Every structure is written in structure tokens, then in C-alpha cells.
Amino acid sequence: MTVEKEAPAAPATHPVVLPRISTDPLDTLVDRVRPVLARAVEPLQVAAALEADGVTDRNARVEYGFPDVFALAQEVFRRLGPPADDPPAPAASGHGRRQVTRLLLHGPLYALPSAVFPAVLAVLGERNALIALTTAGVVGWALAGTVAYAAYKLLGANRPHRAARLLRFSALAAPAVGVLIGLCVGGTWELIVLAAGQLSYQLAGTVLMFYRRELWQALAMVPAVVAGVVYLVNEDILAPALITGGAGVAAAYAAALWSTRGHGSGEPAFGHDRKKLAGVTAYGILSALLLLHAALPYLPNRIDIALAVAPLILSMGFVEWRAERFRGRALELTRTSRSPRDFERRLGQRIGRELLVCMGVAAALGLVLILVLQTRDPAVFVMIGAHVLLAGAYYVAFLLAGFEHFGRLCASLIAALTLHLGVVALLGRPVAPLTDTVLFGGSVLALLSLFLLGLAPSVRQVRHYR
């Protein structure tokens, strides 16, 4: 009898589960862009990121099966899901505080030579000196803005030597422009020297601010400020006050020229930036015309009305600072907003608050001017109010310039100039100061409205704040 052996039992086995590997290239794309777009609030923001990452319409069709990048962005946005929670905001740095201080000081730094203006007025007479100073100041402001924009564009394009040469050339040309202004407003050698000195100081300040050497500018003018204050107490030091003021301007001018020393070679020319430079130049000229055409009729006999531009000029450093903060604040809103409509609403509220703050600072400075002038003339009040509105308009203009919409800026300024001068021409007779200042205020209000309308299409697009 044969006994069959029992077959040995098979060893126990354990199933191996392999990780699921996605074969969908779109999942891989979503995972790759998630760290950057975790807080995206609209598909356009995703489209901008994809284009920056090198995704083209051809890639969208061939690799992912979508007709273009925007259709692909819609699906990526859907797969990303709700925006992630906000990360904690970084603490403010000392460097940021220094930057704020620098911007806030720009207006007062430009005004430092005014400490010796009483001594200048005693020699040249109030009327002629103020005409020369106001004209040179407004032209210098417009010229300085154009030069600063062009220099920063060159610096951003990694052309620091060309920026230095541009700044040097502009500083060297400033006295010649001042001489022309002096010849136009009076022709005496005193007025020529005054206008040339004013314009030279403004361009020197622009150069020193570009190189972040505001301290040099302040130190150069400290003796002049002290001499001007002492002159108010003791009028016997007229000549020393004038000499000290001239020496301060000369020192600031020399420091600016020294800052632009050194020339390089091999840097490309402006190229396609020439059109933008032409736009900002036209904007600077039109801004000067807007201010000059309002002030010039009152320079001979109504200096109090013409001086209404002072609060605007003194507040421009503050306006510049608030405008420079805008993009960072808008970026924060892209992280905290839950939908494009929520982003637009909150961004509109922020712009409204910033407008009120900028105009509030200009209004406070206007109140100080009223107290200094000790006036109750309604025309002065209205003219100051018009320049308060201009502070808000220039805040919006800074934002438009950030989007490089110089065509809209220039068209809006032309419209405001045409509105004011056109209505005055239609009246067919000389208008009283109160009527004229009201018309100017209306044109400034129209300018602010046009600036806001020009800003609206760009400012609310999230893709601009990546």
C-alpha cells in the first residue's frame, strides 16, 4: 500500500500596493505651480503665472489639450481649489522705515532754499523775485520728474552708467534753462542768477535723491537755513545771508555732479524705451503748464493766490510715498481676497482712503498757508482747495505712471487745460479771481475724474500684482 506524502503548504504572501502614479500631465502642472499660486483669486492671475513660466498657446494645445493658455488657466485654477490661508505678514524692517523717511523728506528738502527767500525779496523786490521763483520752481519740478523717471528706467535696465550720464547732463543743463527763465521774466542779472540757482538746486536734489544722498543735500543747506532764520531776527546780516544761501546751493550742486562721476561703455541705448521717455517728458511739460497757467495771471498783483501751489509742492513727498506703497498693499489684497469681486471692492476702498489721506495732508499745509497769509479772501481759499484736489490727482497719476499709461495722463491733462481756458474764452471778458479759481478747481476735479477712469481698467486686474 502506497502512502502519498502531503504536499507542503505554500508560503504566505502579502499583496504589495504600488503608489498610484498620475498619468495626467495637467496634475503635474498643477502640483508644480501650486506653491506660487496657492493664493490665486482669479484665472487671469494663473494665466500670467503660466506665461511667465514659459507656457505658450502651443504648449497648451499640444501638451494639455486646451485651445490656449487662458483656457488652460481656467482648469488649473479650478484644480487648485480655494485660496490657501494667508501667511503671517513679515515684520517691518528698519530699512523700510528709512525708505519712508527718505520719501517724506523729499518735499521739505526741495523747499530748504526758501529759508533765505526773505533776504532775496529784500534785494530784488517781492513781485519780480516771486515771479522768477515760481516759474523756475514749476519748470524745474516738471524737468526733475522727467529726468528721474528716465534715470530709474535706465537703472532698472542695468544701465547705471547711462543713468549717471543722463543725470550729469541734466544737472549741467539746469543753469542754462534757468538763465532762459530769468531772461523771460525780467532780464536783470539778479533775476537770471536767482532762476538759474533755483533750477540748479532742484536738479541737484533730484540727482542726490536718486543716489540716496539726501543727507548730503540737507547738510549742504544747513548753514543757509540758519542764516535765513537769523536774518529774520537781525536784518543787518543781509549780505552774509545771501552769500551763505548761494554757497549752500553751490555745495549741493557740486555734490550732485560728484555723485554722477564715472562713465562706462558698452551699455545699450534706450531702444524701445524712447517712446515711454517721450510720454513722461510730455507729461512733465503738461503738468508744468497746468500749474503755470493757473498761477501766472496772479504773479504780478495777487501773490497770495499764486502761492496756493506751495501746499501741493510740499506734500508731494508724502504723495509719492503713499503711491510707492500701493503695489505692496495691492499684493496683500490678492492674498486675503476670496474672489475677484472682493478684490476689486477692497482695492477701490483702499484707493479712496489713500486719496483722502493725500488730500488731507495738502489741506493741512494749506491751512498753515492761510494762517501765514492772514487772509480771508475766498479766491485764495478756492485756489488752495484746487491744489488740494491736485494732490489727490497726482496720487492717481503716480499709479497710472506705474502702469506706464502716459498717453492717458497726457490726454487727461490736455482736457483739463482745454476745459479751464475754453470756459474763460467763452465768457469773452476778463473774469474775477473768484470766478477764475472756481473754474480752475472745476477743471482739476475733472482731471481727477479722468485719471480715475483711466486707472480703473488696469488697477483691478489681479494679474498685475504677481
Helices assigned H by DSSP within 403-432: 406-427
Claim to verify: residue 52 and residue 157 sit in the same structural domain: no
Question: How far is Cα 304 from Cα 377, in angstroms, rounded to an integer?
Answer: 9
Is residue 104 over pLDDT 80?
no
Higher-pLDDT residue of 276, 233: 233
Q: How many separate domains does the chain show?
A: 3
End-of-domain residue from the set 270, 289, 314 = 270
Does 33 map to a domain? no
Does 365 map to a domain? yes
Residue 56, domain extent: 38-77
Is residue 153 over pLDDT 90?
no
Cell numbers found for residue 270 = 534706450
Claim to verify: residue 293 and residue 316 sit in the same structural domain: yes
Is residue 99 over pLDDT 80?
no
Is residue 463 over pLDDT 70?
no
Claim to verify: residue 184 and residue 287 sit in the same structural domain: no
Does 302 map to a domain? yes
Which residues, 6 or more positions from 405, have their beta carbon under 8 angstroms from its beta carbon? 454, 455, 458
Higher-pLDDT residue of 4, 160: 160
| pLDDT 10s digits, 416-448 | 999 999 998 888 778 888 999 999 999 999 999
Claim to verify: residue 285 and residue 413 sit in the same structural domain: yes
Does 29 map to a domain? no
> What is the structure's pLDDT at 188?
83
> What is the structure's pLDDT at 419?
93
> What is the structure's pLDDT at 41?
62
Helices assigned H by DSSP within 125-188: 126-156, 160-185
| pLDDT 10s digits, 29-47 | 777 777 767 666 667 667 7
User: Do the beta carbons of residue 199 and residue 174 sit within 8 Å?
Assistant: yes
| pLDDT 10s digits, 126-152 | 677 777 877 887 788 777 877 887 787
Claim to verify: residue 169 and residue 209 sit in the same structural domain: yes
Band (pLDDT 50/70/90 cuts) for residue 240 is: confident
Claim to verify: residue 255 and residue 298 sit in the same structural domain: no
Can you tell me whether residue 188 is helix, strand or coil?
coil
Question: How far is Cα 231 from Cα 237, in angstroms, rounded to an integer?
Answer: 6
Claim to verify: residue 261 and residue 314 sit in the same structural domain: no
Quote the mean pLDDT of the chain.
78
Is residue 18 over pLDDT 70?
no
End-of-domain residue from the set 270, 285, 304 = 270
The mean pLDDT of 215-227, rounded to a whole number, is: 86
Does 15 map to a domain? no
> What is the structure's pLDDT at 392?
93
Does 213 map to a domain? yes
Claim to verify: residue 44 and residue 192 sit in the same structural domain: no
> What is the structure's pLDDT at 309?
84
Is residue 465 over pLDDT 70?
no
Does 27 map to a domain? no
Claim to verify: residue 136 and residue 192 sit in the same structural domain: yes
Is residue 228 over pLDDT 90?
no
Which residues, 6 or more positions from 385, have their beta carbon under 8 angstroms from its beta carbon? 366, 441
Does 1 map to a domain? no
Claim to verify: residue 348 and residue 206 sit in the same structural domain: no
117-124 and 189-210 helices, crossing angle to 10°: 160
User: Do the beta carbons of residue 384 and residue 366 sit within 8 Å?
Assistant: yes
* Phi then psi dihedrals of residue 65, to 5 deg: 80, 25
Higher-pLDDT residue of 194, 134: 194
pTM above 0.95, yes or no: no
Residue 185: other Cβ atoms inside 10 A: 23
Instruction: List the Cα angle 172/177/179 in 5-degree steps.
Output: 105
Claim to verify: residue 428 and residue 316 sit in the same structural domain: yes
Claim to verify: residue 286 and residue 419 sit in the same structural domain: yes
The mean pLDDT of 344-371, rounded to a whole number, is: 90
| pLDDT 10s digits, 44-95 | 667 777 776 777 777 777 677 777 777 787 777 777 776 554 444 433 444 4
End-of-domain residue from the set 249, 270, 291 = 270
